[in-house]
Amino acid sequence: MKNVLITGTSSGIGYDAARYLLEKGWRVFGSVRSEEDAARVKLELGDGFVPLIFDVTDEAAIKTAVSHLKQHLNGEGLQGLVNNAGIATPGPLQYLPLEMLRKQLEVNVVGVTAVTQACLPLLGAKDNPLNPPGRIINISSVSGQIAYPFLGAYAASKHALEALSDSWRRELMLFDIDVILIEPGTVQTPIIGKFQEQIQRYMGTEYGRVFEPLAKQMAERQSNNMPVERISELIYRTLTVRKPKTRYPIPRRLLTGWLLPRWLPDRWFDWIAAKQLGIK
Ligand SMILES: NC(=O)c1ccc[n+]([C@@H]2O[C@H](COP(=O)([O-])OP(=O)(O)OC[C@H]3O[C@@H](n4cnc5c(N)ncnc54)[C@H](OP(=O)(O)O)[C@@H]3O)[C@@H](O)[C@H]2O)c1
């Protein structure tokens, strides 16, 4: 049986990836942050799911959880680590509280690094490993390569994750451990609702008039957001395909959500963004 650790399995992409990998016969270790979520997810996903309780910003809790993981594995290796847990902190950079920026980076960047460091021996990053090397899948975003307005903190965290992943991959060639990025566009998960709640705090600022059309556009688009199963299938593919690519963009719309924002000269894309937001 193959073993994978997925972080952030209480909802969204992590939950569905756990469900999908269990269906494919993997044993799934999934991180959650409360006893209630551990019991709920285990009840829903069945005995193949082993919950581990930790917050990715809590180094001591990660170490304890990984030592439980090691006991469960009982000498087997970890074939996959899916760094999925993450938050999205929207807001105009002018007013974004600095502690929210720190938190964004702490969870999406430092947290991924902490979990990866703790799991590396189980993935085979040591001399004379007993098991074949595992793979690390980092859930980035289109925001790992495109910086949309009012998503500066999130984009900074995902750009940092992209850079770290490239460095990790080149360093871990020493052990044949591959590091692969998945870069989704908007997916139907609770993160979108959390996002809409968070921008409410800026409605009273000069940016409020921009957020109203933005919130409307987001609500209209909601039914077109990608189903979470598409990401689960891709996670499975990246874990199992013989020669994975280094990154897998999976935008909601290929031309307008990926190619144009990256290929157009900066000022052209600025102009389009301003038009969409009704600024110009
Ligand atoms: N949905 C999208 O449109 C989209 C697009 C591109 C990339 N992504 C990325 O996909 C990943 C999953 O997001 P999602 O859309 O599935 O959102 P979600 O449903 O909100 O799930 C986020 C998961 O991360 C966990 N988490 C948050 N902070 C944590 C912390 N400090 N320590 C441990 N776990 C923590 C949450 O646990 P709790 O329930 O305990 O908070 C939850 O299980 C994120 O990295 C996100 O950036 C999402």
Can you name the residues that pair with 50 across neighbouring β-strands?
29
Of all atoms in ligand 1, which is nearest to the CA of residue 13? 16
Two tokens, residue 200: 């409410």
How crowded is residue 234: how many other Cβ atoms within 10 Å of its Cβ?
18
For residue 202, how far is its CA from the centre of ligand 1 (angstroms)?
A: 22
Residue 148 is a catalytic residue = no
pLDDT in tens, 180-203: 999 999 999 988 788 778 888 999
pLDDT in tens, 124-141: 999 988 899 999 999 999
DSSP code for 175: G
For residue 86, how far is its CA from the centre of ligand 1 (angstroms)?
A: 4
Q: Please, are residues 251 and 257 in contact by the beta-carbon 8 Å criterion?
A: yes
Locate the domains of the chain by residue range.
3-277
pLDDT in tens, 23-51: 999 999 999 999 999 999 999 999 999 99
Domain 3-277: give its CATH code: 3.40.50.720
Residue 197, pLDDT score: 84
Task: Report CA-CA distances (Å) from 41 to 34, 37, 57, 67, 73.
Answer: 11, 6, 21, 21, 20
Does ligand 1 lie within 6 Å of residue 85's CB atom? yes
Confidence band of 220 (pLDDT split at 50, 70, 90): confident
pLDDT in tens, 226-260: 999 999 999 999 999 999 999 999 999 999 999 99
pTM above 0.75, yes or no: yes
Alpha helices in the chain (DSSP H): 12-23, 35-45, 59-73, 98-105, 111-123, 152-171, 190-199, 208-221, 229-240, 254, 260-263, 266-277
List the end-to-end C-alpha distance of the chain, in Å, as a whole number: 57
